[in-house]
């Protein structure tokens, strides 16, 4: 099954709108002649300068610089010494925002899906496209709106009540995500 590859324009829009629309799209990875594709079932938005749960909340650093760049680039970083986190940058240049892909139909959990797709730091700052071997497709999978739930983001208690409680996580009910 093939679909339309989402271009940078798709991601150069308000982060929450993009996040919600990513549910049901397909993450696709090309490894040699192999192709792996799996439907996105869970995402989390990190949006703007003031979001205290976001890496960008304390300004620009070497690590988070990609978040300040143009939309449609991958932001990949290592957490807990073991797990690669896959994010897609959203919004205009110089506005820090990204969406963490937390689950796909074949692998639930952000650390598990990067292992499943063999994703690591070498994708960081690359533009999503066929030539980067990692992109997102619209396969016109229709997910009923009532099945798309939203709730607080995971693992961000340190961000304080205001920010840790923002319902910026979107997920499909009764799939691989709780």
Which residue ranges make up the site for DNA (CB under 7 A)? 44, 46, 53-56, 58, 61-64, 67, 75, 77-83, 85, 87, 98, 100, 102, 109-113, 153-156, 158
Q: From the CB of 24, what's the least distance to DNA, in Å?
A: 20
Q: From the CB of 145, what's the least distance to DNA, in Å?
A: 25
Write the Ramachandran bin of 165: left for phi over 0, alpha for psi from -120 to 50, otherwise beta.
alpha
Q: Kindly tell me which of 3 and 109 has the beta carbon lying closer to DNA.
A: 109
Q: Kindly tell me which of 29 and 112 has the beta carbon lying closer to DNA.
A: 112
Q: From the CB of 13, what's the least distance to DNA, in Å?
A: 18
Q: From the CB of 109, what's the least distance to DNA, in Å?
A: 2
Q: Write the burial class of residue 12 (CB in 10 Å: 0-12 exposed, 13-18 middle, 19+ buried).
A: middle
Cα(73)–Cα(98) distance, rounded to whole angstroms?
A: 9
Please check whether residue 42 is in contact with residue 102, taking contact to mean a CB–CB distance below 8 angstroms: yes
Q: Kindly tell me which of 21 and 44 has the beta carbon lying closer to DNA.
A: 44
Please check whether residue 62 is in contact with residue 112, taking contact to mean a CB–CB distance below 8 angstroms: no
Structure tokens at 56: 């960008």
């Amino acid at each position: 099954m093939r679909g339309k590859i989402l271009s940078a324009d798709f991601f150069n829009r308000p982060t929450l709108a993009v996040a919600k629309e990513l549910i049901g799209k397909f993450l696709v990875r090309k490894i040699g002649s192999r192709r792996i594709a799996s439907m996105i079932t869970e995402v989390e938005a990190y949006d703007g300068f003031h979001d205290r749960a976001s890496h960008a909340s304390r300004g620009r650093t070497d690590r988070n610089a990609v978040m300040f760049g143009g939309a449609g680039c991958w932001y990949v970083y290592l957490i807990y010494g073991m797990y690669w986190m896959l994010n897609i940058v959203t919004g205009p240049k110089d506005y820090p925002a990204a969406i963490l892909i937390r689950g796909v139909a074949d692998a639930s959990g952000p650390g598990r899906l990067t292992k499943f797709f063999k994703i690591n730091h070498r994708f960081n700052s690359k533009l999503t496209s066929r030539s980067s071997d990692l992109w997102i497709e619209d396969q016109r999978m229709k997910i009923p709106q009532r099945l798309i739930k939203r709730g607080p983001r995971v693992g961000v208690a340190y961000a304080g009540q205001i920010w840790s409680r923002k319902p910026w996580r979107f997920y499909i009910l009764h799939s691989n995500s709780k």
